[in-house]
Amino acid sequence: MKKALTGPDIRELVSEWQYLLGCRLEQFGRPSSNKLILKFRSSRTGTVRLVVDFSGWVYVTKESISTESNQGVFVNSVRKTIKKSRLESISQLNGDRILCLGFMRGDESHTLIFEMFHKGNAILCRDKKIKTVMRQQKFRHRSLKPGLEYQAPPGFNPFESDLSKFSEVISGSKRPIGASLTIDCNLGGEISNLVCHRLEIDVSTKVEQSKFQSIYDQVQAILSDKIRPSIFLDNEGKNFTVSFLNLSHLRQGPQFDTFGEAIETYLNSREEPVVIVKDKEDIRIIRQKEAIENYLSKAEKMREKGNLIFSNVGLIKKAIKNERDTLLIENKEIKIDISKSPEANASEYFDKAKEMERKAKRTREILDTKPLKKPRRRKIKAENLEWFENYRWFITSEGEVAIGGKDATTNERAVKKYLKNMDRYAHADVHGAPSVVVKNNGTPPSSVSMLEACHFSLAYSKAWAARVSSGHSFWVESDKVSKTPNTGEFLAKGSFIIRGKRNWNKNLELKLAIGLIDYNGIEKLMGGPVMALENQSKKYAVFKPGFTERKQLSEILSNIFERDISEIEKLLPNGGFELVKSSGIDIKLE
């Protein structure tokens, strides 16, 4: 099964993507540590996204993929430098798995380079000098660090090399012919296997110089024999690889108009391997059982050799006399100490057998007496994190994203970064309550959504730890929130001035719900207003301030929702809890 694109694949994609020239880079994101998304747009192409997956894949898609990113300095630097730039060039470097995108903004030009090998890397350059790099790396021939001149790795370009260069690389390689064509000649495994298949050459052997010409001719013939991009199948009819070349030794499957479309379909059809993680307790038991069997097997062999020595005393005496320390008895090789008598040699083997049996017995006792751990339910760790999960958050009943600060720093960041035109702001009338920003979905959030946001801010305020039963909250339009203090006043970090009319929601009950919701097809555990959970969740519990400790409730909810305890703790305010009601789950608090 194909695991990554090859140099020839990148060359074909570069040729195919020339229609993207002139598009503007609308957004750049890093949704995960190993993936980048570039969002392009033009009146001719509409909106498309270039997906760069550093496990070895790159393709263009019209599917809507989020470019939200929490991956830090590199993403911010790239956005600041080339966002809204025009795409001027798309090229491949040295026939290798290196993709280069040239951007122009005003009179400034930059090159964004993607290296699709090793761990993968992205490098932003200006005038051949590295401005920022996703991963700083140091290799034998080069270093990738800001301020240095970018150097491509040494390699072989199969598209610009004649027979003599091919012959030089193959003859100078220490690898067998299959690996030499794949790695040294930069052709990839598919072309390498097809060449060897056609010439009936064993991929694991070295070849004579007399075959270099025929190998070179086959490489040129294969590279020029293009077909409609296709997915090729294995013997069971499952997707095996994807190519634009005529892989005649494989069974051809679905065909596509573009190579990029074929790649996207192939990737979407792949079955991810299931990784079985063994429990530490199971591993211990298996190893101890193996050790017992090993000890007993050694003991049996030692005892057998001791018996053979006793049964052949005359033969052993003769060997000692002739100073032979090794002899063969009944096809068993036996070593003896020629300074000792036959009886003493036999006793030594019996002593070794007893020692092995004692070790086996001791290991068996440990295995039988050590208590087994109770089987733990597998906790699901949160994956595919959205941008808003860096804050306190919930999804309103009407589908808007609402975020709140966890402390003064995130309060400040949430409002400064995310409170935009048509968004709304909510805050509880309690010192230290989170500032809540409710994002708009094209129209300002409704009064229902803002009521939920007011409940949310109150629940995560100091009112919970104080075990009060109710409190007041308000909401305002985004333009009523200011960071500019009145003359002569000081404004603390995370605090804001509200100027204008406040829309009050008074005497709100202090309650909080925790439950599972579906967000864009992904199951997420959410803490929020009761109404929001009632409208979106089938499994949730509602709490009010009480006397069950936060740590105890975290453990209970961790087992119920099968989530890591740290994920539960992030959703709970400081203080105690009392269960009000639940739906779809069985929960009891002592």
Q: CA 524, CA 413: separation in Å to the nearest integer?
A: 23
Predicted confidence (pLDDT) per residue in 449-476, tens digit:
999 999 999 999 999 999 998 999 999 9
**In the 8-state DSSP scheme, what is residue 443?**
S
Written as six digits, the tokens of 103 are 């951007």
The domain spans of the chain are 7-144, 163-269, 282-369, 387-583
- Residue owning tokens 């129209």: 443
pLDDT at 555: 92
Written as six digits, the tokens of 579 are 């269960």
**In the 8-state DSSP scheme, what is residue 70?**
-
Question: Which stretches of 485-589 are assigned E, i.e. beta strand?
Answer: 497-498, 503-509, 512-519, 522-528, 539-548, 577-583
Which residue blocks in 147-231 are alpha helix, DSSP H? 163-172, 177-179, 189-199, 212-224
Q: 0.75 cut: is pTM over it? A: no
Handedness of CA 163, 168, 170, 171 (dihedral sign): positive
Amino acid letter, residue 195: V
Strand order in the sheet with 577-583: 522-528, 512-519, 539-548, 577-583
Give the distance from CA 290 to its chain's centroid: 35
**In the 8-state DSSP scheme, what is residue 446?**
P
- Residue owning tokens 């320390």: 325
Residues in contact with 550: Cβ distance below 8 Å, sequence separation at least 6, in sequence order: 569, 572, 574, 575, 576, 577
CB half-sphere exposure, 327, CA atoms < 13 A: 23
Q: What count of other Cβ atoms lies within 10 Å of the Cβ of residue 395?
A: 22
Determine the angle formed by the axes of helices 342-369 and 280-311, rounding to 10 degrees: 160
CB half-sphere exposure, 392, CA atoms < 13 A: 31
What are the pLDDT tens digits along the chain (590 aa)?
788 999 999 999 999 999 999 999 999 998 888 899 999 999 998 999 999 999 999 999 988 887 776 557 889 899 999 999 999 999 999 999 999 999 999 899 999 999 999 889 999 999 999 999 999 988 888 999 999 999 999 888 999 889 999 899 999 888 999 999 999 898 999 999 999 999 999 988 888 888 999 999 999 999 999 999 999 998 888 889 999 999 988 999 999 999 999 999 998 887 655 445 566 777 888 889 999 999 999 999 999 999 999 899 999 999 999 989 988 888 888 999 999 999 999 999 999 999 999 999 999 988 887 665 555 554 555 556 788 998 999 999 999 999 999 988 899 999 999 999 999 999 999 988 999 999 998 899 999 999 999 999 999 999 999 999 899 999 999 999 998 887 777 778 888 889 999 999 999 999 999 999 988 778 899 999 999 999 999 999 999 999 999 999 999 999 999 898 889 999 999 999 999 999 999 998 86
How buried is 473 (Cβ within 10 angstroms: 0-12 exposed, 13-18 middle, 19+ buried)? buried
Q: Answer whether 99's CB lies under 8 Å from 21's CB.
A: no
Q: Answer whether 558's CB lies under 8 Å from 568's CB.
A: yes
Residue 436's closest CA among 448, 426, 428?
Answer: 426
Q: CA 508, CA 457: separation in Å to the nearest integer?
A: 11
pLDDT at 380: 52
Percent helix / strand / coil, the chain, rounded to 5: 35, 30, 35
Residue 427's closest CA among 418, 438, 439?
Answer: 438
Amino acid letter, residue 308: L
- Residue owning tokens 């003599």: 164
Q: Give exposure, 352-367, as e/b (b: 16+ Cβ within 10 Å).
A: bbeebbebbeebbeee
pLDDT at 279: 66
Q: Answer whether 427's CB lies under 8 Å from 436's CB.
A: yes
Q: CA 199, CA 211: separation in Å to the nearest integer?
A: 9
Secondary structure tally for the chain: helices H, strands E: 15, 28
pLDDT at 332: 86
Q: Residue 129 forms beta bridges with which residues? A: 126, 149
Q: How far is CA 21 from CA 43, 45, 84, 86, 259, in A?
A: 12, 10, 14, 8, 18
Query: 7-144 falls under which CATH superfamily?
Result: ibrinogen binding protein from staphylococcus aureus domain (2.30.310.10)
Residues in contact with 215: Cβ distance below 8 Å, sequence separation at least 6, in sequence order: 166, 170, 177, 181, 195, 199, 201, 207
Q: CA 334, CA 69: separation in Å to the nearest integer?
A: 69
Give the distance from CA 185 to its chain's centroid: 30
Written as six digits, the tokens of 272 are 């991810």
Written as six digits, the tokens of 350 are 């019996």
Which residue blocks in 258-407 are alpha helix, DSSP H? 259-269, 280-311, 313-321, 342-369
Residue 55's closest CA among 379, 336, 272?
Answer: 272
Q: Answer whether 194's CB lies under 8 Å from 247's CB.
A: yes
Written as six digits, the tokens of 172 are 């100078």
Q: Answer whether 398's CB lies under 8 Å from 442's CB.
A: no
The overall longest dimension of the chain from CA atoms, in Å, is 113
